Amino acid sequence: MAFDRSSLREVLARTDLVAFIGQYVPLKKRGNDFVGLCPFHGEKTPSFHVHPDRGFYKCFGCGKGGDAISFLMERENLPFPEAARMLAVRAGVELEPERPEQARARSEKERIYEINSVAASYFARMLKTPEGKRGSEYARGRGLDDATIERFAIGYAPDRWDGLVEELTSRGLDLPLAERAGLVRPGQRGYYDFYRDRLMVPTRNTTGEIVAFGGRSIGDGEPKYLNTSTTPVYTKGQVLFALEIARRAAKESGTLVVVEGYLDCIALHQAGITNAVASLGTAFTAEQADELRKYADRIILCYDGDAAGNAAALRAIDIAATKIERAGASLRICVFPAGDDPDSFVRAHGRAAFERLLAEAVPAVQFKLDPRIARLATGFENPAAIAREAEEIVRRLVPREEWDRWRTYVAMRLGLAVDDLRAAARVDAIAGFARPLEAGLGGTRRAGASIGAPSSERELLAIFIERPELIALFVDSIAPGEFRDDRYRRILLTLFERGRDAESSGELFSLFIGDAELLEIVAALGQADRSSTPRYPGIEDAKAHVQRILAHFERERERRRLDELNREVDALLEAGDPIPDALRQELAALTKRLQA
């Protein structure tokens, strides 16, 4: 049974070979390939290799190899048509038995490839003629050398109406089909050239066929860029310019660099950065992210340093992160200085400076978080509200195992207690409460201004040293083991064991004679923040503050218990096991108390 060959190519291009075969065989990355035990013969040492960049697998033990379709045929004992259909459904490609009209469609695509090839050869030839002088001068002005022009088959569409029409007609090619390919247009006197007085750059798919063209105006013509729209062989947003070249470089570096325009991309290749591709000026798409992920573990998106570039980067992150970061790859953002784009920057500063910029590219999630955090500087934003917004960004953009790392980053930038942010975030994740971060963080707790440990430990000791009569009153209210600072813990233990009957601070100081380190700390605590009057003029004031500190310790105990519960829940969820009702109830009760 025959299938449309271009559709079969599309099925294979859209199939992530590693992910697909990985459903059957545990694979481990080794260099640019993946290896595992062969599913077709028994072995103890892995000899089965998957080559994602080249789209095939090979076992060096039994000799079997092929593409995704042949793997499915062999593994599931399926005939070719059935295996092809199964993969087509998985890839979202329509693949039906070839009927006469489908045979015509297959023939149409193959003929469009031929028309595109003839057009590219015509444009390349015209660039070298006197008629193409404007185009060649423009290319030189862009810094393009002969080797680059040849490598990318750059050409020129002359400033006349019938140049390509005559070329296609002389070759006996169908002009209505050339219209469908986006190369000519019908007019009152017949067909005319769609591209005129433009530098022409062809775009190829990953199997090498020319599928589209981009035309850059020479001079003041509008629009500046005129690109192929959707045709039977090309859909905007599904192809990346120069991927058929860059994927080979990506095999060595593990990285793909994404720019917006094809001339930016060509300039990078000429400078030696051959792992660059272009999104062809379209908004970055999920399909392009899927393509990138097939060939590289590290993706760097490059955007201009103006407001439009920043907005484009933010949009691209939302699309790309779920496809790239959540698949275990790295997504980074490189923003150029204001007024520069990749082409102008690499021509002005060279490859080394460009690579330094790439090395400084920030993780995509950080690029999203930093502007939110910077809003605090305006004085109109609440840290708890920003922390909540940051939590949503982190969960949406990065894998679960990375959440805590980015919560720590946010807490440090906001000046919040990391444990508070972590605990509140986990409540939100599992207990399902509506606004846990703001409740958990209370009045936008700042680490430097809070009672949080160890400041709460220092404050409690300072009160006991100032008001020794309170020691006996609270000796049973807190265990020294709850102190996180070992020195403060030892001081509290001494006060509880030997200082209950002390009547003055001086008596307490004497308890530490012989331990110079602790005596120095106690003396400093006894003098801290003192003025001409006691900090707590009445015993009741001091007692009330001790009770507030003890309430804080109780909250800390509950937060630690909350962390324990969340670890239990995480383990259950990862194992696919149900969460016991008792665990849910304790989690809910703890959350309610912390919110209160």
Taking only the tens place, the pLDDT of each residue in 429-486 is 433 333 333 333 333 333 333 333 346 788 888 888 888 888 888 888 888 877 888 8
List where CATH 3.40.1360.10 sits in the chain.
243-360
Residue 120 scores a pLDDT above 60: yes
Candidate CATH numbers 3.90.180.10, 3.40.50.300, 3.30.9.10, 3.90.580.10; the one for domain 5-91: 3.90.580.10
What local confidence, expressed as pLDDT, does residue 4 receive?
A: 67
In the block, tokens 């960049």 appear at 53
Tokens of 314: 């933010």
From the list 349, 414, 433, the residue with the least C-alpha distance to 375 is 414
In the block, tokens 């992530």 appear at 16
380 C-beta neighbours (distance < 10 Å), count: 7
**Which amino acid, residue 122?**
Y
Q: What is the mean pLDDT of residues 539-554?
A: 82
Q: What is the mean pLDDT of residues 205-226?
A: 87
In terms of DSSP bridges, do strands 33-36 and 28-30 run parallel, antiparallel, or are they unpaired?
A: antiparallel
Is 252 or 361 the better-scoring residue by pLDDT?
361
**How many CA atoms within 13 Å lie on the side-chain side of 193?**
22
From the list 328, 349, 329, 327, the residue with the least C-alpha distance to 337 is 349
pLDDT, the chain, mean: 81
Q: Lowest mean pLDDT of 125-139, 499-513, 571-585, name the range.
A: 571-585
The model's pLDDT over 369-425, given as tens digits with 9 standing for 90+, comes to 888 777 765 655 666 677 777 777 777 777 777 777 787 787 777 776 666 555 555
What local confidence, expressed as pLDDT, does residue 595 receive?
A: 58
CATH class of 243-360: alpha beta
Residue 589 scores a pLDDT above 70: yes
Are 123 and 244 in contact, with CB atoms under 8 Å apart?
no
Quote the CA–CA distance of 406 and 278 in Å, as a whole number: 30
| Residue 207: its H or E element | none
Tokens of 212: 């589209």
Are 288 and 332 in contact, with CB atoms under 8 Å apart?
no
Query: Residue 236, SS3?
Result: coil
Burial bucket for residue 589 (CB in 10 Å: 0-12, 13-18, 19+):
exposed
The residues near 134 (Cβ < 8 Å, ≥ 6 apart) are 156, 159, 197, 218, 219
Quote the CA–CA distance of 51 and 29 in Å, as a whole number: 10
List where CATH 1.10.860.10 sits in the chain.
451-596
What local confidence, expressed as pLDDT, does residue 243 receive?
A: 92
What local confidence, expressed as pLDDT, does residue 449 receive?
A: 30
Candidate CATH numbers 3.90.650.10, 2.60.120.200, 3.90.980.10, 3.40.190.10; the one for domain 100-227: 3.90.980.10
Tokens of 283: 């908004």
Query: Residue 183, SS3?
Result: coil
Confidence band of 537 (pLDDT split at 50, 70, 90): low
List where CATH 3.90.580.10 sits in the chain.
5-91
In terms of DSSP bridges, do strands 255-259 and 276-278 run parallel, antiparallel, or are they unpaired?
A: parallel
From the list 262, 235, 285, the residue with the least C-alpha distance to 109 is 235
**DSSP bridge pairs for 28:** 35
Quote the CA–CA distance of 126 and 461 in Å, as a whole number: 87
Is 347 or 393 the better-scoring residue by pLDDT?
347
The model's pLDDT over 71-89, given as tens digits with 9 standing for 90+, comes to 988 888 778 888 888 888 8
The residues near 560 (Cβ < 8 Å, ≥ 6 apart) are none
Query: Residue 231, SS3?
Result: strand
What local confidence, expressed as pLDDT, does residue 474 receive?
A: 87
209-213 contacts at long range (C-beta below 8 A, 24 or more positions apart)? 209/113, 209/116, 209/233, 210/113, 210/116, 210/117, 210/119, 210/120, 210/153, 211/113, 211/116, 211/239, 212/116, 212/182, 212/239, 212/280, 213/116, 213/119, 213/120, 213/123, 213/182, 213/183
Quote the CA–CA distance of 479 and 477 in Å, as a whole number: 7
Largest CA distance in the chain: 112
Architecture of domain 451-596: Orthogonal Bundle (1.10)
How far is residue 270 CA from its own chain's centroid?
Answer: 28
Measured CA distances, 454 to 55, 292, 489 (Å): 57, 48, 11
**DSSP bridge pairs for 200:** 155, 215
Tokens of 142: 């862009």
Helices assigned H by DSSP within 159-285: 163-170, 175-180, 243-253, 262-270
Query: Residue 566, SS3?
Result: helix
Q: Lowest mean pLDDT of 306-320, 333-347, 426-440, name the range.
A: 426-440
From the list 441, 423, 420, 421, the residue with the least C-alpha distance to 431 is 423
Q: What is the DSSP letter of 146?
A: H
